[in-house]
A and B are shown apart, each in its own frame.
Chain A
Amino acid sequence: MQEVELQDILTAREDGDYIINIGPQHPSTHGVLRFVVSLKGETLEYVIPHCGYIHRGIEKMCERLTYPQIIHLTDRMDYLSAHMNNEAVSLAVEKGLGIEVPDRVKYIRTILSELQRLASHQLWWAAFGMDLGGLTCFFYGLRDREKILDIFEESFGSRLLHSYICPGGLMNDIHPNFQKRTKDFITYFRKKLPEYDELLTGNIIFEQRTKNIGILSKEEAVGYGLTGPSGRGSGFACDIRKRFPYSAYDKVNFKEILYNEGDTWARYKVRMDEMWESMRIIEQLIDNIPEGDFTAKMKPIIRLPEGEYHQRVETARGELGVYIISTGEKNPYRMHFRTPNFSNLFVMNRLAAGFKIADLIAISGSLDLVIPDIDR
């Protein structure tokens, strides 16, 4: 299988090619993503991803909003990692202001990020199972995710788009029940996660569907900028939590999951193992949340000093970079998000060309694409 550049493909397209549009309305693209696929029989010749169907101009909208207001837009990029997105902007602004948030805030932020990661991976597992035809997985994944959403809802009132972490701290303090509920959930989920393995991971059909499908070497993963679990499946040690610790990640003990196979199976296993690690992180922190304020002392109107600020965090899908150029006003001059899904998407042609249609679905499922995050 030789590598074909997208531009070559576009010029070399012939009338006789059997071209299929997978998307923008298709059950397994998880949103309005479009793959233009050329087929030879069942085999894919090339895959061209087309994005932009849900572009909302979030970066441009940020330029006329104040920093606390920007938070609620970042929820809507990668809605499955809402906390991490909020945290990224908050950390960037705090970095610019040069303030240190209280330890309590750091701990709570870390716990929330990990809970969010668990919820996101559960939904990914559910949808991945459904992509491969195992519809029951979908309901088991959502059933367990519901418990996390209940924890979220009790503490800050919303289930998906929280806008909870804000520059300087948190919107309000956690609910008194938060710790108890989280611990209950961890004990519950430790029992349910092996069930996921029995139903899907160990299954012979599933193994055959994923092993040696869509292989990417470490060098190529670095070259394509593939981050997050997808990159770590190729052996690219890119966990921001480990490499550039933020919040309370330097205080906890956890493993960076790495697999060297680089196939769909490895990407799947990284996420499954990450769920165990996330639970370990939460268990280490949940009983030790220090007392204190839930927010640092902030001025009512935040003005970043003139300059450029960059902050990256590890979302459930990879590295999210926030880049702010400030001219000293209360709103940014330019705001840029380096979203993980955008980089992850364009490895599709490299991964899927030469495999079958069914593998295209498996590969795009294993990359865990969230379309609003690609288009912003």
Chain B
Amino acid sequence: MNSVAQYFSDIFKAIRSLWKGLMVTGYYFVHPKQIVTQQYPENRKTLEMFDRFKGEVILVHDTDNTHKCNGCGICQLNCPNGSIEIITDSAVNEDGKSERIIDKHIYHLSMCTFCGLCVKSCPSNALAFSQEFEHAVFDRQKLTKVLNQPGSKIKKEPKVPKPAPAPAPTPVTEEVPNPAN
């Protein structure tokens, strides 16, 4: 008799446990407001990435087309997989001395792993991350970018004391047109 009671109590327990599960899915079925899907291409206009989002590395340019990069090459040294190449040139400055300037700051987006070491190690705070994330292209060549805009110059600043040892990446405040495209 005991086993018969066991048999039926098993059945009722089973039905109760199944009913609990059904209530969970049933609840969401009748509550479409709980839907969490973001409709991506439609919400492109309103979509805002977090300001620390690591989209791609950029060289921050001011409105007068100046940047802070002096071509020291520390980012190139720190990059673990060789996605940054610095080509320097020399120019004569106002004092009449020959000075190292940057010719091309080449960035291979296809190799970048977004570890953030270049941005962190840059002594003159010239690099930053942009929030651009739509990187799909039809030609791999397009992923190799020259970060300094044509005709851009190094920013002349009054002599500042040494920058902080590990500056936080500054959030980008302005939209920078992409020089490579």
Contacts and interface: CB of A to CB of B under 8 A. Distances in A.
User: Does B associate with A?
Assistant: yes
Interface of A: 65, 68-69, 71-73, 136, 143, 146, 153-158, 161, 163, 171-173, 175, 195, 198-200, 202-205, 207, 295, 297-298, 300
Given A158-B114, A171-B120, A203 B18 contact: yes
B25 A73 contact: no
7 contacts: A72-B113, A136-B25, A153-B53, A163-B116, A171-B116, A202-B20, A203-B20
Nearest to A155: B52
Given A72-B113, A154-B52, A171-B120, A199 B166 contact: no
A163 B114 CA distance: 8
B163 interface: no
Contact of B36 (A143, A153, A172, A204): A143
A142 to B, nearest CB: 9
B80 interface: yes
Nearest to B27: A195
B121 to A, nearest CB: 8
Q: Which 4 A-B pairs have the closest CB atoms?
A: A72-B115, A69-B80, A157-B54, A204-B14
Nearest to B166: A295
Interface string B4-29: 00000000011001101101110000
A223 B21 CA distance: 38
Contacts of A171: 116, 120
B21 A68 contact: no
Interface in B71-122: 78, 80, 113-117, 120-121
Contact of B13 (A161, A163, A200, A204): A204
B114 A69 contact: no
A157 B165 CA distance: 21
A68 B79 CA distance: 10
B53 to A, nearest CB: 5
B61 to A, nearest CB: 21
Contact of A158 (B13, B24, B54): B54
Contacts of B168: 172-173
A204 B116 contact: no
A154 B120 contact: no
B73 to A, nearest CB: 14
B50 to A, nearest CB: 4
B17 A202 contact: yes
A160 B52 CA distance: 14
Contacts of B52: 153-157, 172, 175
Contacts of B14: 204
B50 A203 contact: no
Contacts of A65: 80
Contacts of A161: 113-114
A207 B18 CA distance: 11
Contacts of B54: 157-158
A173 B167 CA distance: 10
Given A157-B50, A199-B21, A204-B13, 20 more contacts: A68-B117, A69-B115, A69-B117, A154-B50, A157-B54, A157-B114, A161-B113, A161-B114, A163-B113, A163-B116, A172-B168, A175-B52, A195-B24, A198-B21, A198-B23, A199-B20, A202-B17, A204-B18, A298-B165, A300-B121
A71 B113 CA distance: 11
Contact of A72 (B13, B17, B80): B80
A153 B80 CA distance: 22
Interface in B123-175: 129, 165-166, 168-169
A202 B14 CA distance: 9
Contacts of A153: 50, 52-53
A136 B26 CA distance: 12
B131 to A, nearest CB: 9
Given A143-B36, A157-B53, A203-B18, A198 B24 contact: yes
B109 to A, nearest CB: 15
Given A143-B36, A198-B23, A71 B115 contact: yes
A202 B36 CA distance: 26
A62 B50 CA distance: 31
Nearest to B34: A143
B70 to A, nearest CB: 17
A68 B78 contact: yes
Nearest to B117: A68
B129 to A, nearest CB: 6
B152 to A, nearest CB: 25
Query: Which one of A136, A155, A204 has the greatest number of beta carbons of chain B within 10 Å?
Result: A204
Contact of B129 (A69, A71, A157, A163): A157
A344 B106 CA distance: 44
A262 to B, nearest CB: 24
Contacts of B114: 157-158, 161, 163
